[in-house]
Structure formats: C-alpha cells, structure tokens
Amino acid sequence: MPCLWLNHNKSQIFINVAIFDANGLVDLGGGEVDFGAGNINDHMFKALVDTGAQRTMISKAAAQKLKLRPIGKFPVLGVGGVSYHNNYLFNVGFVVGSKGSGENEYKFEAHILQDLIQGGELDLENAGFDVLLGMDVLATGSLAVEGVGTFSFSF
C-alpha cells in the first residue's frame, strides 16, 4: 500500500495531487495508464485536505487548465444560501517518490485512484490551493495526523 509521509503546519494539511480528465486516461494493462500528451507536472495541483468536506472540489483555474468539460451543475449550500456550481468527472492520483540506486537518482510513481470523482467547481482564486480534497478521496485510504507536525496518507 503506497504511503505519503509529509509535514503539516498544525492547522492545515496540504498534499500535491494529480488530476486527470476522466476521459483522458487509457488503460495500458499491467497497472499502467497513458494520460495523454504532456508532463505529469501539467496535472499536479496543491490540495487542502478537508475531512469535513464530503466531496472533492477543484478551482475554476484547474478545470480550465485541464480542459475539463462540465457534466452538469450541482447545488452548494453556503452562508448566503444555495448556489449552483459546475460539476466534473475526473481521476485523482498521488505521486510517490523513492531514492534510486544512484547518489542523485530518485524514482517517482503516480498512483491513480480507480474510482472516478464527481467533483464540483469552487471559487478558490485567492485560496493558495486548487483542490479541496474531500472524504470521497480520503476514505479510500488511511489518514494519520501526528501532533509533531507530520502526517501520513496510505492508499
């Protein structure tokens, strides 16, 4: 089971995640997928872990960068009442690195969750992150937060 071991600031947890258009992944077999043209970095976004959120949400900027097409709208109940936001289908992945055999050699693997995420668009323009990682993703693994400023997420 892959595991991320990272630091937190004792008030917020951030993880870098990869977001892929649900229609853009091609299964190559043997656990490998092709995510199309470009670089994995084109799909990487800073995510705020939110155990109080049922669903994962993405910023309008992230949706535009990935050229995601809305599949409809969904209601969001906020302080000002109900508003309707674009809804998207996408996959979420995590990049795990390890030390290679050489002195400056590192290996990276992208682990893409199999379940499609139906996530909405939020106004995160000045939030400092592009993805709100909700329980639909977090419940696929195990999140452990340590009081010493570290956390782990196994999936």
Q: Count structural domains, the chain.
A: 1
Pull the structure tokens for residue 100: 């290679």
Whether 137 is in a domain gets the answer no
Question: What local confidence, expressed as pLDDT, does residue 36 receive?
Answer: 65
Whether 135 is in a domain gets the answer no
Question: What local confidence, expressed as pLDDT, does residue 24 receive?
Answer: 78
Where residue 111 sits, what CATH number does that domain have?
Answer: 2.40.70
Q: DSSP of the chain, one letter per residue?
A: --EEEEE--SS--EEEEEEEETTT-EEEETTEEE--SS-GGGGEEEEEE-TT-SS-EEEHHHHHHTT----EEEEEEETTEEEEEEEEEEEEEEEEEEE-SSTT-EEEEEEE-SS-EEEEEE--TTSS-SEEE-HHHHTTSEEEE-TTSEEEEE-
Whether 143 is in a domain gets the answer no
Whether 82 is in a domain gets the answer yes
pLDDT band at 32 (very low <50, low <70, confident <90, very high): low
Predicted confidence (pLDDT) at residue 137 exceeds the cutoff of 70: yes
Whether 150 is in a domain gets the answer no
115 class by beta-carbon count within 10 Å (0-12 exposed, 13-18 middle, 19+ buried): exposed
Tell me the torsion sign for CA atoms 49, 53, 59, 64: positive
Q: What is the pLDDT of residues 86-134, one digit of tens each?
A: 999 999 999 887 666 777 766 778 888 889 999 999 989 999 999 999 9
Whether 151 is in a domain gets the answer no
Look up the domain containing 17 and give its range: 13-126
The neighbouring-strand residues paired with 30 are none
Distance, CA of 148 to CA of 19 (rounded, Å): 29
pLDDT band at 78 (very low <50, low <70, confident <90, very high): confident
Average pLDDT, the chain: 89
Whether 8 is in a domain gets the answer no
Whether 28 is in a domain gets the answer yes
Question: What local confidence, expressed as pLDDT, does residue 1 receive?
Answer: 82
